[in-house]
């Protein structure tokens, strides 16, 4: 019998999430959990004919929504700053520009080259 040694599977993920991205992800999960909980609470209120206010529940998740909007705005600003060169070009454009814009002139009448 031919027994080959198997190599352990390699991790396919790149680098781990940074602090800001992890914070944003956790806040989104927390807000989503609150939203689901709100729907469950609304369903139970209707089912048991509760006619009181549910303000105590909504007051808890209002600051979380505000924090989420602030954190997500900062994450977008940080990623934009990291992926833009000094001249304002995107990182893919700058990489292609540094490589010399090698284009294929294989266009035709129906499909011009780029």
| pLDDT tens for each residue of 49-72 | 998 887 787 788 888 888 888 888
The pTM is what?
Answer: 0.57
Let me know: does 16 contact 25? Beta carbons within 8 Å: no
Q: What is the DSSP code string of 23-52?
A: HHHHHHHHHHHHHHHHHHHHHHHHHTT--S
Per the model's pLDDT, the better-predicted residue between 107 and 61 turns out to be 61
Per the model's pLDDT, the better-predicted residue between 97 and 62 turns out to be 62
Per cent of the chain over pLDDT 90 is 10
* Mean pLDDT computed over 1-6: 60
Predicted pLDDT of residue 52? 83
Let me know: does 73 contact 80? Beta carbons within 8 Å: no
Which DSSP category does 17 fall into? P
């Amino acid at each position: 019998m031919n027994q080959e040694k198997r190599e352990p599977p390699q991790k396919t993920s790149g680098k781990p999430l940074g602090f800001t991205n992890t914070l944003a992800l956790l806040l989104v999960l927390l807000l989503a959990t609150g939203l689901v909980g709100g729907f469950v609470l609304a369903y139970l209120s209707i089912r048991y004919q509760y006619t009181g206010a549910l303000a105590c529940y909504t007051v808890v998740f209002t600051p979380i929504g505000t924090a989420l909007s602030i954190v997500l705005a900062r994450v977008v600003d940080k990623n934009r700053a990291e992926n833009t060169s000094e001249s304002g070009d995107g990182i893919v454009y700058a990489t292609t520009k540094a490589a010399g814009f090698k284009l294929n002139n294989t266009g035709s009448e129906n499909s011009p080259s780029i």
